[in-house]
Amino acid sequence: MILKTSDLTSGEEYTITINNVQDIAASPNEIAPNSTITASFTVKFRYFDYIYLDSKSSLNAGVAEIRYIEDGVKHGKDKSAFGSVSDPDNAFDDDYSSNASTGNSGDNVGVDLGAGNEITPDSVNIYFRDAIGRGTSQFKIMGSNNQKDWVELFAKNGAGDTVDMQGSYTFPIDLSGLNPEDILSGAKQPQEITFPEIADQDVNDSPITPNLAADMGLPITYYVMEGPAEVSGDQLTLLDSGEVWVRATQPGNDTVYSAYPQDRTFHVSKVLTGYNAKSIISEDLTVSPNPFKDVIYISGLSKDNVDYKLFNLIGEELESGKMSNGYLQLNNLSSGIYILKVGDVVKKIIKQ
Ligand SMILES: [Ca+2]
């Protein structure tokens, strides 16, 4: 479940209350009517990355220490460091004479506060390498919870905003402007199941293979919720006539949310009980399209004015006549399966 909200204030705790919850899983948990669930969350980050965007010399650009600050508490000292420079540890060692020597645009100095130590920073303190009369002015601070999806927390953009940066500077971090979707991108990905409608079937068509897919490529499980059918592997065996209700589910994994289940219902008929319908379907004539909408075309007729009859699945004759011009206009039929007899040839046709 993903909820999109209006603007949130960083560091605030929010509670979501949802009433009338129903479990729609294939094997639902019992939930009393008018039940309530609550969930609380706060926007926090575990990983932070300082990315240098200028391209001055390392003399200008080194950072002696970096700390991320939440409620006056500095975080980062002696934490695991990473980055494109050879000495990122030096930005977290509490030694103001050792520097992480960023010098090229794109150099980064990152820190992992560790699992369970995520914070909602309100500022970042950077102690720039002391180099009197020199400065750097273009850098940004990124935050992440997985070290893959990063959100920009602060940027200093240089031009017109150049400040000599020697010594200690504290820059405010305002998380209220974050795009919720950027934060979500660091969470699991949503997925959807594509489950086309299943046309009404004949019991003789069993087994059928529903054509379904999940857009994140994960395997789908489906269930017969009700009706005369059963699942075996990716096939659906039709057992008798009746209404069949099938549900497809995909439970997700560490990186993908569970999909919203998709339900399909269709009718199973028993054509001409006692016959195997396939045995009476001739290849001599071709009907198309099948399923059809309003008009069905019959090709392979050796002459015009051939008698035809149309039956429903319990053998009642619905209409009859002479076939001419190789097509039948059947726009008055309701959707379903019918038996078309043309001359001596029997065809099963499906009206959409
Ligand atoms: Ca240092």
Q: For every one of its 352 residues, what pLDDT tens digit does the chain have, with 9 covering 90 and above?
A: 556 667 766 667 777 776 766 666 666 666 666 666 665 567 889 999 999 988 766 566 789 999 999 999 999 999 999 999 999 999 999 999 999 988 888 999 999 999 889 999 999 999 988 666 666 678 899 999 889 888 899 998 765 555 566 788 899 998 877 766 666 545 677 889 999 999 999 888 889 998 888 888 899 988 999 999 999 888 999 988 889 999 999 988 877 888 888 999 999 887 654 344 443 444 567 888 989 998 998 887 766 777 888 988 777 888 988 877 788 888 888 888 888 888 777 788 899 9
Please provide the DSSP assignment of 52-114 as one string: E-----HHHH-EEEEEEEETTEEE-TT-EEEESSS-GGGGSSS-TT--B---STT-EEEEE--
Alpha helices (H) in 140-232, listed in sequence order: 180-184
**How crowded is the C-beta side of 71, counted as CA atoms within 13 Å?**
5
- Tell me how far the alpha carbon of residue 168 lies from the centroid of ligand 1, in angstroms: 12
- Tell me how far the alpha carbon of residue 146 lies from the centroid of ligand 1, in angstroms: 25
- Nearest by Cα to 203 from 149, 114, 268: 268
- Tell me how far the alpha carbon of residue 144 lies from the centroid of ligand 1, in angstroms: 23
**Max CA separation in the chain (angstroms):** 102
- Tell me how far the alpha carbon of residue 89 lies from the centroid of ligand 1, in angstroms: 8
- Tell me how far the alpha carbon of residue 51 lies from the centroid of ligand 1, in angstroms: 17
- Tell me how far the alpha carbon of residue 128 lies from the centroid of ligand 1, in angstroms: 10
- Tell me how far the alpha carbon of residue 256 lies from the centroid of ligand 1, in angstroms: 39
Q: Tell me whether the omega of the peptide bond preceding residue 289 falls within 30 degrees of 0, making it cis.
A: yes
- Nearest by Cα to 191 from 262, 131, 125, 241: 262
- Tell me how far the alpha carbon of residue 82 lies from the centroid of ligand 1, in angstroms: 14
User: What is the enclosing helix (H) or strand (E) of 337?
Assistant: strand 336-342
- Tell me how far the alpha carbon of residue 87 lies from the centroid of ligand 1, in angstroms: 10
Residue 160 Ramachandran class (φ > 0 left, ψ -120 to 50 alpha, else beta) = left
Tokens for 268?
């199973």
- Tell me how far the alpha carbon of residue 118 lies from the centroid of ligand 1, in angstroms: 22
- Tell me how far the alpha carbon of residue 100 lies from the centroid of ligand 1, in angstroms: 7
- Tell me how far the alpha carbon of residue 63 lies from the centroid of ligand 1, in angstroms: 7
CB 122 within 8 A of CB 37: no
Structural domains of the chain sorted by starting position, each given as residue range(s) with its CATH number in brackets: 47-184 (no CATH), 193-269 (2.60.40.10), 277-351 (2.60.40.10)
Cα 99 to Cα 56: distance, rounded to the nearest angstrom: 15
**What is the number of other CB atoms lying within 10 angstroms of the CB of residue 214?**
20
pLDDT value of residue 336: 87
- Tell me how far the alpha carbon of residue 67 lies from the centroid of ligand 1, in angstroms: 11
pLDDT value of residue 242: 87
- Tell me how far the alpha carbon of residue 342 lies from the centroid of ligand 1, in angstroms: 90
- Tell me how far the alpha carbon of residue 66 lies from the centroid of ligand 1, in angstroms: 8
